Amino acid sequence: MNRHQVIGSNNWKKTQQKIAKLHYRISCIRSDFLHKFTTSLAKNHSQIVIEDLNVSGLIKNGKLSKAIADSGFYEFKRQLIYKTQLYGSKLIIADRFFASSKLCPKCGHKKDKLPLSVRVYECDNENCDWIADRDYSASLNLLGLAEPDVMPVEKQEPTLFDEAGTKKQIMSNIV
Ligand SMILES: [Zn+2]
């Protein structure tokens, strides 16, 4: 909006209408993207593991609330629930107390704390050398909740994380 416009004037009203149209367009694009994304997930994957974020708890946190409200997590989850039923895939929702970010995907060590500002997971266990991107590490922990038939290992009894393969192998199994 042109900040020299007089509030309530005709030009101001026109600008308001333009802004409203833009908001509408953006929400259509977002909705279209979300539908395509959830359809593709449900159609092309036998299992999908997501975290059940404590959305209402996070929304109380001022800094995070806007990002989470904007991301449409509820809608994402709602679509995944009905689309996985529709396409016969399996949706696994990790318990909201599952410490996906605090666990080491290699040795299982659990950190007491991992502030959101720390983007790299570095294991505290002195016998473990795991250092990797925080979200990637968390996603490996979630992958461990999937039924064994999607585990990207060929051995009989895969341990949850140790033998999950390289990032590339895992991602090619997920994507
Ligand atoms: Zn470790």
Taking the centre of ligand 1 as the mean of its atom positions, its distance from the CA of residue 51, in whole angstroms, is 21
Taking the centre of ligand 1 as the mean of its atom positions, its distance from the CA of residue 115, in whole angstroms, is 18
Question: What is the count of structural domains for the chain?
Answer: 1
Taking the centre of ligand 1 as the mean of its atom positions, its distance from the CA of residue 121, in whole angstroms, is 9
Please report, to the nearest 10 degrees, the dihedral formed by the alpha carbons of residues 121, 44, 152, 108 taken in order: 30
Domain extent, residue 142, equals 99-175
Please report, to the nearest 10 degrees, the dihedral formed by the alpha carbons of residues 93, 98, 101, 103 taken in order: -130
Taking the centre of ligand 1 as the mean of its atom positions, its distance from the CA of residue 114, in whole angstroms, is 14
Report the DSSP beta bridge partners of residue 133.
120
Per residue in 83-107, pLDDT tens? 999 999 999 999 888 999 999 999 9
Q: Is residue 42 domain-resident?
A: no
Q: Which two tokens stand for residue 29?
A: 């694009």
Q: Is residue 3 domain-resident?
A: no
Q: Is residue 127 domain-resident?
A: yes
Taking the centre of ligand 1 as the mean of its atom positions, its distance from the CA of residue 130, in whole angstroms, is 5
Taking the centre of ligand 1 as the mean of its atom positions, its distance from the CA of residue 88, in whole angstroms, is 35
Q: How many CB atoms lie within 10 A of CB 80?
A: 20
Q: Is residue 92 domain-resident?
A: no
Taking the centre of ligand 1 as the mean of its atom positions, its distance from the CA of residue 90, in whole angstroms, is 29
The pLDDT, as a whole number, for residue 56 is 60
The pLDDT, as a whole number, for residue 17 is 95
Taking the centre of ligand 1 as the mean of its atom positions, its distance from the CA of residue 91, in whole angstroms, is 27
Closest to 42 in 3D by CA, of 92, 78, 94, 90: 90
Q: Is residue 56 domain-resident?
A: no
Taking the centre of ligand 1 as the mean of its atom positions, its distance from the CA of residue 126, in whole angstroms, is 8
Q: Which two tokens stand for residue 175?
A: 């994507």
The pLDDT, as a whole number, for residue 70 is 61
Q: Which two tokens stand for residue 11?
A: 């030009």
Our separate counts of H helices and E strands in the chain read 6, 4
Strand 47-51 and strand 120-122: the pairing is unpaired
For the chain, 175 residues long, the average pLDDT of each consecutive 10-residue run is 82 95 91 91 93 67 63 84 94 90 95 92 96 94 84 41 45 46
Model confidence, pTM: 0.66
What burial letters (b/e) apply to 124-149, b meaning 16+ CB within 10 Å? eeeeeebebebeebbbbbbbbbbeee
Taking the centre of ligand 1 as the mean of its atom positions, its distance from the CA of residue 105, in whole angstroms, is 7
Q: Is residue 90 domain-resident?
A: no
Taking the centre of ligand 1 as the mean of its atom positions, its distance from the CA of residue 152, in whole angstroms, is 20
Q: Are 84 and 125 in contact (CB under 8 A)?
A: no
Q: Is residue 105 domain-resident?
A: yes
The pLDDT, as a whole number, for residue 173 is 47
Query: What DSSP string describes 69-83?
Result: HHHTHHHHHHHHHHH
Taking the centre of ligand 1 as the mean of its atom positions, its distance from the CA of residue 134, in whole angstroms, is 13
Q: Is residue 158 domain-resident?
A: yes
Strand ranges inside the chain, DSSP E? 47-51, 90-94, 120-122, 131-133
